[in-house]
Amino acid sequence: MADTLTTTADTKEQISEKSAIVVAGLRKSFKELEVLKGIDFAVERGSILALLGPNGAGKTTIIRILSTLLPPDGGQAFVDGCDVVREAKQVRKSIGLTGQFAAVDEYLTGEENLLMLGRLYRLSKADTKRRTHDLLELFELTDAAKRKVKTYSGGMRRRLDLAMSLIASPPVLFLDEPTTGLDPRSRLTLWEMIRRLSASGVSILLTTQYMEEADQLADQIVVIDHGSVIAAGTADELKERIGSARLELTIAADGNFARAEQTLDGQDLHLDRERRLISIASQSGVHELRELLQRLEAAGIAVESVSLHRPTLDDVFLTLTGAAATPDANEGAQAEQERTTA
């Protein structure tokens, strides 16, 4: 069943130097259900990689294998240079995990949760106290520190959960859907905290169903669907795969649409005469925009508004899988807009 998990000392050294996490040919089945069909990716040290995929894609299964909670059926995985199967104990020392469902004790205060976990990790009493204090500050929970967790809001629980995963200062952090269920403002706060952690050198693997989250946070994105990697790259690279950006110009009501059309002739144009809209495939964005506006101005044509539409990751997902990534993807799939009034 299991592939042989062997590496030479050389490859191990290479792996630990460059990458915080290396996953190669990872496979897992539950009975007949093949959940991971050979997954490959690597997380560079100090970077954020987002595993992006819909419900049931296999994201949590990957996280569970990497955090040694579940043995793989085949393939290899290394965390901080250690094999997750053969060196599970070392792996556990270098990771922090925030699961999909918050793992905090409702009947303890936020502070007590942290203190208890610090002792569980066998930090000294002084270290536990100092770390607890710092983490409560970092995650803006100092005011709520002495309140029982059952009185916390969802966002506060998430932040406490994240703080708890960091009690032992792990160099590698797994975040399984860290912002699911949070309101937009709490999500922004948590994103900022995750960025700060990354800037401090922590290597982060996060899973998300939100295109925007991957776009905002990740240095690298791996898109998975039905247990396979279907695309990988930076947000920009993935967006490029589904075509270029488009500039949209709205010509003023008295701006002579027909003349605008003539002036821009020779470009790849889409026209909507009713809405007085001209849409142009754009390669260089802002530079091109300036040139177009100058041409229209020289021809005496008034432009009412200008916007630049870049493809979103939702568009990417739709193109790759033929299905929206999330049930509410239609809202998110609206082209990202940078609107300025000319």
Ligand X SMILES: Nc1ncnc2c1ncn2[C@@H]1O[C@H](COP(=O)(O)OP(=O)(O)OP(=O)(O)O)[C@@H](O)[C@H]1O
List contacts with ligand X (CB under 6 A): 30, 33, 35, 53, 55-61, 100, 209
Structure tokens, 317 = 């997902």
Q: How many CB atoms lie under 10 A from the CB of residue 253? A: 9
Binding flag, residue 60, Mg ion (CB under 5 A) = yes
Q: Give, as ranges, the residues between 74 and 103 that touch Mg ion (CB under 5 A).
A: 100
User: x/- binding map, residues 100-129, to Mg ion, per CB under 5 A?
Assistant: x-----------------------------
Q: Which range in 30-38, 59-67, 127-135, 294-302 contacts Mg ion by CB under 5 A?
A: 59-67
Torsion angle of C-alpha atoms 246, 314, 241, 204, degrees rounded to 10: 120
Query: Of Mg ion, ligand X, none, which one sits near residue 169, judging by CB under 5 to 8 A according to partner kind?
Result: none
* Shortest distance (Å) from residue 11 CB to ligand X: 28
* Shortest distance (Å) from residue 315 CB to ligand X: 20
Query: Of ligand X, Mg ion, none, which one sits near residue 209, judging by CB under 5 to 8 A according to partner kind?
Result: ligand X
**Residue with Cβ nearer ligand X (207 or 250):** 207
Query: Of Mg ion, ligand X, none, which one sits near residue 56, judging by CB under 5 to 8 A according to partner kind?
Result: ligand X
Q: Return d(Cα 133, Cα 75) in angstroms, integer.
A: 41
**Residue with Cβ nearer ligand X (57 or 308):** 57
* Shortest distance (Å) from residue 78 CB to ligand X: 20
Q: Return d(Cα 17, Cα 46) in angstroms, integer.
A: 12
**Residue with Cβ nearer Mg ion (26 or 144):** 26
CB 164 within 8 A of CB 118: no
Give residue 8's identity as a one-letter amino acid code: T
Binding flag, residue 179, Mg ion (CB under 5 A) = no
How many chain residues interact with Mg ion (CB under 5 A)?
A: 3
* Shortest distance (Å) from residue 216 CB to ligand X: 18
Phi, psi of 162 (to 5 degrees): -65, -45
Q: Return d(Cα 317, Cα 325) in angstroms, integer.
A: 6
Structure tokens, 340 = 């300025």
Site residues (vs Mg ion, CB under 5 A): 59-60, 100
